[in-house]
Structure 1
Amino acid sequence: MPQNINNQAYKESFKRDGYAILPDLYSSEEVLALVNTIESAPTTTPNFRRSQDLFAIRNLLHEIPDLAPLLWTVKLRQLLYSLFNSTPQLVKATYFDKPAKSNWLVAWHQDLMISVDRRQEIPGFGPWTNKQGDVAVQPTREILWKILSQCAFTSTTAMLATGR
């Protein structure tokens, strides 16, 4: 577990600011394993987008299932449990690699959709999308308030931010 991962300062930062920056959430070896797994994956499905300016993978864990245990580490689960006192669930993963020479902006936005296995009409859920077989829906506000987004960078620093 990263040094001082249960440090009260992280919990206070998260509660006060809605995010916490956690150095060394992933070790250098874990980051290397993530990168190697992504780089060795076949890239022939429509969920892979690769150009001079971008490499992106939609529905990441469906495309590269071997990433799940590498992303969803015991350290991360323990941290999330310590913050929320409940068992977290991984609902969506997307990968972006923006090469240094590319010039595109990702403006501030909220990701409100969650990936699901299939469309099922449930009151309060919607709208729905289906992008290259990835079925997604906007859940109810009560569920959205419980969603946490994690941005992991290809260094040993990770940033956690709420979906609020």
Structure 2
Amino acid sequence: MNYSNKINSEGFEIIDNVYSDFEINQIISFIDQKTSQEQSISTFRKSKELFAIRQFHKEIPKVLPHIFNQNLINIIHATFGKDYFITKSIYFDKPEKSNWFVAYHQDLTISVDKKIEVDNFENWTLKQNQYAVQPPKDILEKNFTIRIHLDKTTKENGALKVLNKSHKNGIVRVENIEFKNETETICEVEKGGIMIMKPLLFHASNKTTNNERRRVIHIEFSNKKLPNELEWSEKINLLNL
């Protein structure tokens, strides 16, 4: 099914039943195996509020064929086409008693392999030996993100909340938003479901209040070639999985 109309209009879509319970348990087993063996990897971030794995698909490559089941491949191809590739992935584990929250923001950076002077690429950072940079708006507008939910996600355990249609306004400073004029949606997703969103959509999440765990795999996609000698540092072609 093609979900492009809703995504282009509202900036997001929620799709349930992309994975069976068996498939979700397989994915979780790969993650648990990796995290039980190694705790000091630079891409791991662990605290009582949050556990995260950056460069997730590079750290646990064996999980990718299980993530990209036929359901997900069909959704991507029908909605966006066959020329998109992975550009970034992060695994989030928000524990049962987490007080960690994220304020409203847009996802404005991409992961690249080096720092070089490129017109309209700005706000460079370096984390875990990987460069990130804010590219021109036209790259961000073409990208999309898929969030795979390994647990049922509700407003009580930190489901994303979004400002509908806010991706249409380009890059905006959050202090310039008139929140009273915005439509907010809390994006509750069943276990085994996904959320697709545009990076310029304003999104946030609240603290956990119901003592229920929330695990999400966040994967970003693009079909854009970067200029000069700049390359996507986490690029993997879906055809190679």
| TM interval, short-chain normalised | 0.7 to 0.9
Distance 1:14 1:138, change over 3 A: same
Distance 1:72 1:129, change over 3 A: farther
- Gaps of at least 5 residues in structure 1 are 1-5
Q: Distance in 2 between matches of 1:12 and 1:118?
A: 35
- The structure showing larger relative contact order (alpha-carbon pairs under 8 Å, at least 6 residues apart) is 2
Q: Distance in 2 between matches of 1:77 and 1:121?
A: 35
SS at match of 1:127: strand
Structure 1 segments, 4+ long, off by >6 Å, are: none
Kindly report which structure 2 residues correspond to 1:2-151, keeping only aligned pairs within 5 A, or say none: 6=1, 10-41=3-34, 42-151=38-147
8 Å CA contact retained: 2:50, 2:100: no
Q: How many aligned positions are there?
A: 157
48-57 or 92-101, larger mean C-alpha shift: 48-57
73-82 or 46-55, larger mean C-alpha shift: 73-82
Q: Distance in 2 between matches of 1:95 and 1:127?
A: 24
What is the RMSD computed on CA atoms of the aligned residues?
1.9
Q: Distance in 1 between matches of 2:52 and 2:79?
A: 30
**What is residue 192 of structure 2 aligned with on the other side?**
156
Distance 1:47 1:141, change over 3 A: same
Q: Distance in 2 between matches of 1:64 and 1:126?
A: 30
Distance 1:128 1:72, change over 3 A: farther
* Cα shift readout 1:1-41 (whole Å, capped 9, x = no counterpart): xxxxx1x6x44422331211100122222221221111111
Question: TM (normalized to structure 1)?
Answer: 0.84
8 Å CA contact retained: 1:24, 1:157: yes
- Gaps of at least 5 residues in structure 2 are 151-190, 201-241
Q: Percent of pairs identical after alignment?
A: 35
8 Å CA contact retained: 2:4, 2:80: no
SS at match of 2:196: strand
Give the superposition deviation at 1:86. Answer: 4.4
SS at match of 1:163: coil
- Which structure carries more strand by proportion? 2
